[in-house]
Chains A and B, each alone.
Chain A
């Protein structure tokens, strides 16, 4: 079967339309990040989380109300998959005591609920600070290493193009996390797993971009008379089939993870779905056009 064989779409010619699309998405994302911010998980700000399983359906709003009286302050309560709720409190006091108060509070308020704590996550504020530092270093380190690698293997314009695409991808993914928090029916908290997902997106987006760049590099030596626009366009078109197939299979498996991977992995899988989609788009519509812009503008400037 062949879907995108010998295509001749004018990607570069239409790049300004793509700029508009990306520009709107970026503005929306940055706007939401500034206004709504991100829902930060306990990994990076500290807190206690208890996942409570019960044979009866527990209503988060009702549980929150009941626990507010027992705990003295209102905890965050959310559904966490079928028959489970997640209760989040600040990391103050003794873990055992907090857990006992929650279990007793829920079982007294909801007869027959026989609550059972199936998962506990506690992160102290100082430890959270350390995890945050680690995450920041991981992201900076990741970006630096891939940038240096692209610089070594390709010319600098490609490095700029690749990094522009990465910022584009991560910003929009973060933006959607910010917009979707509390709206979508699963957790979009920024925790360690999400940082891992973001770095994977970085790797994936780059992977896609590099394949196109590799073709541009190859054609630069082959079709020396062609204009740079045409050359890049030809490269994108000739790798398009591969881009679509690989994105397709990757999207397939991350969708499988999202559906079958369980509640613990849902946010992580969602991040990957967004990343793969946006990463594929950006390798065609952001990374390569940036290279073209840099090249043509610099030439014009030199004249």
Chain B
């Protein structure tokens, strides 16, 4: 019995420690229960009054993973290739080719695209200098910089870009208003964003990736645009003659299968043919209504935008367009087709950026006379000056306000605008306006980002998983406990007590290390319940054996504990190692599993060896009871 004072002290200490760490979780649970039971108004009042307290409790409570509470886990990667192009000046054909080759190499080998870029460049021409594309006097990159210097500079810029991207993304998430978001850098190029309780993943995706490249452009001269339109239509007319013959031939062969029901999904194609055959005019006019007055080029239905883009990108057509003019879509529908498809104007916009979003100092959501949402913006003094000059020089002309390559509005300038005010109109919803403000105010990302991984769990599925996990723990615990009593009688009861302590300690450890409870984590706990009794099973079996050799109960217990120890230790250490390896290589939910597995091993070792021993010593030595090992 000697030393049991210390053992009891240890158990009490760990129990108290677990209780201390689990107390906030319990309080959080009861507060949430109370809030859930309240009426709407009462709830809001209560939440307002106890805001800080609720938050503090939640902060310290055991956290649930996104798979349990619902939410979004997004891994993003900064596109280094786009960054390289962004930093380069005087981009030419060679540059594009080298960049494309470097991208392919980097994708294949997984190496850095910057190294691949420099190597590919030198491979093509060992004497060529990267410095002809990159100049940055602040970073000491001049015409005379070596290729090594430039590579180094690019690497630095890439590191810098990821850090800037993280702070911009953090700013956007904060503005969006998510409770307890987590934004972390992963490796050198990735950002992991975790957002609990998201109900509109699409909006969040746009927000995270959003470049919000706001630009003010002048627009094409109406006469030259009209001329280009006529030329384009005329050119496609001449193309029709040759295309017609080919088209008729194809139509013949497709006519037969189109009649069979099996070809239902090709009906769209058949429709298209019919349309063309009915009015064998011109492939462009089949999908675009020409406009040709003012800055409008044509009107296109939403399903034909890709086709029109394809038709207009023909090199001959590009030559008809006035120099320095691009065709961009209007963000607002200008009408609808008979089938209810929305129609959009294609507008002639000069490609020169007159003013960009960087000059915006503040932006906010407003509503116009018709109560439609708009974003009103204020520019800094330099922007205001340019804006005043620009509007002053273009009275009675249109200026396009372009966001991410789409024209949101192209008002006609009535007066010179001083004070640097402007607005984006034609927005779909208040949310959209709000998101534009968010992205404008957080600034533009240094380079486009890709979502390379996303895991979103809806709140209902999360709830179902919590329920499933809870039931599994309870049923598992109940069955194992019953079995132990059934098989080992009194000793089984003691093992069950140890198991109960074990569960408390596992949760205590999780709370203490601020681990996150995930569904695989719960699976780990359930698994631990089954495996935790192993140590006691080993000991009890040993005690039975020792009793079989004729030892007294006390001697058998002593021998059982001491002889079973080496097996228990070796068996658990190996599983613990596996848990540690899973933790270091796994991600997200798998780490949750590894953590509970390791916590379970530690606490089951302690409870099975110490807690059960204390109870047996008390029963056998103090009370002289005859403990049954079944």
Residues B570 and A210 in contact, CB atoms below 8 Å apart: yes
Q: Does A24 contact B (CB under 8 A)?
A: no
Q: Does A134 contact B (CB under 8 A)?
A: yes
In-complex Cβ contact of B567 among A99, A120, A211 (8 A):
A211
Q: Does B508 contact A (CB under 8 A)?
A: no
Residues A256 and B527 in contact, CB atoms below 8 Å apart: no
Looking at B156-164, B336-344, B478-486, B614-622, the stretch in contact with chain A turns out to be B478-486
Residues A193 and B590 in contact, CB atoms below 8 Å apart: yes
Residues A252 and B537 in contact, CB atoms below 8 Å apart: no
Q: Does B455 contact A (CB under 8 A)?
A: yes
- Interface residues in A256-271 (C-beta closer than 8 Å to B): 256-257, 260-262, 264-265, 268-269
Residues A256 and B469 in contact, CB atoms below 8 Å apart: no
Contacts of A272 in B (CB 8 A): 527
A153 to B566, CA, bound (A): 10
In-complex Cβ contact of B530 among A124, A127, A213, A250 (8 A):
A250
Contacts of B472 in A (CB 8 A): 256-257, 260-261
A131 to B455, CA, bound (A): 14
A127 to B202, CA, bound (A): 21
Residues A118 and B461 in contact, CB atoms below 8 Å apart: yes
Q: Does B571 contact A (CB under 8 A)?
A: yes
Residues B541 and A241 in contact, CB atoms below 8 Å apart: yes
Residues A254 and B458 in contact, CB atoms below 8 Å apart: no
Residues B582 and A138 in contact, CB atoms below 8 Å apart: yes
Q: Does B579 contact A (CB under 8 A)?
A: yes
Contacts of A116 in B (CB 8 A): 458
**Shortest distance between the CB of B112 and any CB in chain A (Å):** 13
By beta carbon, the residue of chain B nearest A241 is B541
- The DSSP consensus for interface residues of chain A is helix
- The DSSP consensus for interface residues of chain B is helix
On whether A207 and B476 interact (CB within 8 A), knowing A95-B451, A199-B581, A241-B541, the answer reads no
Looking at B51-59, B398-406, B518-526, the stretch in contact with chain A turns out to be B518-526
Q: Does B370 contact A (CB under 8 A)?
A: no
Residue count of chain B within 8 Å CB distance of chain A = 77
A96 to B573, CA, bound (A): 46
Q: Does A146 contact B (CB under 8 A)?
A: yes
Residues A127 and B75 in contact, CB atoms below 8 Å apart: yes
Q: Does B41 contact A (CB under 8 A)?
A: no
Contacts of A100 in B (CB 8 A): 202
Residues B519 and A265 in contact, CB atoms below 8 Å apart: yes
A129 to B537, CA, bound (A): 43
Residues A199 and B582 in contact, CB atoms below 8 Å apart: yes
Residues A126 and B452 in contact, CB atoms below 8 Å apart: yes
Residues B587 and A262 in contact, CB atoms below 8 Å apart: no
Residues B475 and A142 in contact, CB atoms below 8 Å apart: no
Q: Does B6 contact A (CB under 8 A)?
A: no
Residues B468 and A261 in contact, CB atoms below 8 Å apart: yes
Q: Does B33 contact A (CB under 8 A)?
A: no
By beta carbon, the residue of chain B nearest A201 is B578
Q: Does B360 contact A (CB under 8 A)?
A: no
Q: Does A238 contact B (CB under 8 A)?
A: yes
In-complex Cβ contact of A122 among B67, B77, B453 (8 A):
B453
Contacts of B475 in A (CB 8 A): 256, 260
A-B contact pairs, 5 of them (CB 8 A): A124-B451, A149-B577, A245-B537, A256-B476, A261-B526
Beyond A116-B458, A252-B483, list 19 extra A-B contacts (CB 8 Å). A1-B487, A2-B544, A5-B544, A6-B548, A69-B265, A96-B201, A123-B452, A127-B452, A127-B453, A142-B581, A149-B577, A199-B582, A203-B577, A203-B578, A204-B531, A210-B574, A246-B534, A249-B537, A250-B534
